[in-house]
C-alpha cells in the first residue's frame, strides 16, 4: 500500500483498504502510507521530489489513518511534508502540509 500511496494510485489504495489492509502499517523504517503520500521519496531518474498525493491523503484519513504516527525516529507525515517543503517548493506539498495540519487538529 505504501508504494501505491507514494505514486498516487488512489484506486489501488482504496482496494487494499477495502480488503482490510492495515491503514497504519509501516515499513522497516517506520514510514506509513500516509507518510509516503504526504512526502514521497525522490524520483530515482531525476532526483527531484515527487508531488504529494492529496487524494490519497484524504482517502487514508477517511479510513482513520493515524496522523500522529511517527517513524522509528518519531517523524510524522506532517513533519516529513514540512521538511521536504523547505527543500523544494511544490504546490502539492504545501497543500499536503495544510491538509495534515487540519487533520491533526481533529484528533
Q: Which pLDDT band, with edges at 50, 70 and 90, does 20 fall under?
A: very high
| pLDDT reported for residue 89 | 58
Distances (CA, A) of 10 to 1, 82, 87, 106: 10, 22, 26, 23
Tell me the pLDDT tens digit for each residue of 47-92.
Answer: 666 788 999 999 999 999 999 999 999 999 999 888 876 665 567 8
Cβ atoms of 64 and 45 within 8 Å: the answer is no
What is the rounded distance in angstroms from the CA atom of residue 87 to the CA atom of residue 72? 22
What does the block give as the cell for 24?
497504519
Query: Is residue 11 scored above 70 in pLDDT?
Result: yes
- Spatial neighbors of 65 by CB under 8 A, at least 6 apart, are 23, 24, 32, 33, 34
Amino acid at each position: 500500500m505504501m508504494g501505491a500511496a507514494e505514486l498516487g494510485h488512489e484506486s489501488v489504495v482504496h482496494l487494499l483498504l477495502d480488503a482490510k489492509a492495515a491503514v497504519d502499517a509501516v515499513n522497516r523504517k517506520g514510514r506509513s502510507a500516509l507518510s509516503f503520500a504526504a512526502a514521497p521519496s525522490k524520483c530515482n531518474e531525476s532526483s527531484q521530489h515527487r508531488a504529494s498525493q492529496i487524494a490519497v491523503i484524504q482517502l487514508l484519513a477517511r479510513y482513520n489513518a493515524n496522523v500522529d504516527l511517527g517513524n522509528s525516529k518519531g517523524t510524522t507525515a506532517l513533519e516529513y511534508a514540512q521538511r521536504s517543503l523547505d527543500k523544494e517548493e511544490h504546490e502539492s506539498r504545501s497543500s499536503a502540509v495544510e491538509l495534515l495540519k487540519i487533520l491533526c487538529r481533529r484528533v
